[in-house]
Amino acid sequence: MYRRCVRRVAALAACATFGCGAGGESVFDPPRPPTIDSGAPDRDGASSGQGSSPDGGPIKGVAPCSAGATVIYLLDTSDVLHSFDPARIPAASAMKTIGPLTCATAGAAWAGASSMAVDRNAVAWVTDKNGALFKVDTRDATCQAMNLQVQGGFTKVGMGFAGDVASGTETLYVADTTNPAITGGGLGLGAIDLSTLELRPIANFAGSFAGFGAELTGTGDGRLFGFFPELRQLAQIDPSAARVSSSISLPAGTAVSGSGEFDFAISFWGGVFFIYTAWPGGIPGDTTDVREVDPVSGQTTVVMSQVGFDVVGAGSSTCITTHGDVRAILSAAGDADAATDAPLQGDASVDGDGSDP
């Protein structure tokens, strides 16, 4: 039953996210103290002077996160934007279509959606297959072309935000996901400075991860994670040097290799990871499966199968580190009823546990 996930997320919050687990510690680092997990004002510029910490509590003097940051956003191969509320799994209403991107008419060349990350203000940052960067309003999918200056040869990339604890902001990281990168010939990790629109290389991944491509996601306290589909690994990455500090091996069904287009993405929400995979080039008609990965137990569970479209980008705000963050953001936005219900509204039963072999 999916209610186990809700209970698990609550348990993770009580353990300060990854800090404890039945039978042992998480392989990933525990969170840093929430002294600066901050961020920016919401997208309308409002600020009440308080944000949310990794354990869901407010931080004095920090702007709140946008109410739109409580869900995950998904981008498909048809350039359509969707929202995904894991609290509503397994109901069909867990995923809702927002609309097609307007990037093709945003004043710059558009080569089709490649990846997406979402900031603390629920603004999506999207790259196309040629590496062009666009800013997308998650309320209506309208696009604004950005004049990204690229260094180091990066083009097609995976993307994810992670908090910058030292400055109280967040950084947009990228990883090479060109075809050579997927099979080990890539450039590794880089970062985009959104104030200057410059993409700078950081380093290639080291050891057995060297050259391989990944989609990225992160947390408000500065932890960065990558899903390496060819290696079937979920790994924690040192964002300063691209070193992989620890990793979880994923089941065989989580990723596939071979010829043909392989669509994949990752997001972190409420203490667990969601991985999205589809292989329409190898299996005609195949659409995305959604798997939840528990970083404490290591269990991988299919929570939604064949959703009807192919996800190429997934973005979740670094505001949502634990269960309590959803309620804190909704309360700050004045939505008391939703804050009371969230995310327990998804506490519904499902036949079977969907566990991967």
Say what the pLDDT of residue 97 is.
97
Inform me whether the pLDDT recorded for 181 exceeds 90.
no
Nearest to 292 by CA among 325, 328, 268: 268
Say what the pLDDT of residue 279 is.
76
356 confidence band (pLDDT: 50, 70, 90): low
Could you tell me if residue 354 is inside a domain? no
Inform me whether the pLDDT recorded for 62 exceeds 60.
no
Residue 255 tokens read as 């990723």
- List Cβ neighbours of 293 (8 Å cut-off, separation of 6 or more): 234, 248, 250, 272, 273, 274, 275, 299, 300
Q: Mean pLDDT of all residues in the chain? A: 77
Q: Give the model confidence (pLDDT) of 209-225 as tens digits.
A: 999 999 999 988 889 99
Q: What does DSSP assign to residue 345?
A: G
Say what the pLDDT of residue 42 is.
39
Inform me whether the pLDDT recorded for 140 exceeds 90.
yes
Among 72-76, 195-199, 250-254, 309-313, name the one with the lowest average pLDDT: 250-254
Say what the pLDDT of residue 320 is.
74
Inter-CA distances, 168 with 54, 65, 87, Å: 13, 13, 28
pLDDT above 70 covers what percent of the chain? 68
Residue 266 tokens read as 């990752």
Local structure of 324: helix, strand or coil: helix
Say what the pLDDT of residue 275 is.
95
Could you tell me if residue 105 is inside a domain? yes
pTM for the whole structure: 0.80
Inter-CA distances, 69 with 4, 168, 233, 284, 327, Å: 24, 17, 27, 34, 11
Q: What does DSSP assign to residue 165?
A: T
Could you tell me if residue 279 is inside a domain? yes
250 vs 233: CA distance, rounded Å: 6
The stretch 281-286 carries a mean pLDDT of 72
Inform me whether the pLDDT recorded for 228 exceeds 70.
yes
Say what the pLDDT of residue 159 is.
96
- How many domains does the chain contain in total? 1
Could you tell me if residue 356 is inside a domain? no
227 CB burial (10 A radius; 0-12, 13-18, 19+): buried
182 confidence band (pLDDT: 50, 70, 90): confident
Token pair 């048809």 in the structure block, residue = 78
128 vs 21: CA distance, rounded Å: 39
Could you tell me if residue 230 is inside a domain? yes
CATH, residue 334: 2.120.10
Inter-CA distances, 321 with 32, 54, 163, 219, 270, Å: 12, 5, 11, 6, 5
Say what the pLDDT of residue 128 is.
92
- Are 58 and 51 a contacting pair, CB within 8 Å? yes
45 vs 34: CA distance, rounded Å: 23
Say what the pLDDT of residue 54 is.
38
Could you tell me if residue 140 is inside a domain? yes
34 confidence band (pLDDT: 50, 70, 90): very low
The stretch 233-241 carries a mean pLDDT of 95
Nearest to 34 by CA among 332, 356, 333, 324: 324
Local structure of 238: helix, strand or coil: strand
- Are 191 and 171 a contacting pair, CB within 8 Å? yes
Could you tell me if residue 357 is inside a domain? no
The stretch 336-350 carries a mean pLDDT of 41
Inform me whether the pLDDT recorded for 257 exceeds 70.
no
- Are 112 and 128 a contacting pair, CB within 8 Å? yes
Say what the pLDDT of residue 323 is.
52
- Between 15 and 144, the more confident residue is 144
Could you tell me if residue 353 is inside a domain? no
315 forms beta bridges with 73
The stretch 94-116 carries a mean pLDDT of 89
Is residue 200 left, alpha or beta, with left meaning phi > 0 and alpha meaning psi from -120 to 50? beta
Question: Could you check whether the bond before residue 343 is cis, i.e. omega within 30 degrees of 0?
Answer: yes
Token pair 């040097």 in the structure block, residue = 241
Inform me whether the pLDDT recorded for 193 exceeds 70.
yes
Inform me whether the pLDDT recorded for 118 exceeds 60.
yes
Q: Which domain holds residue 7?
A: 3-346
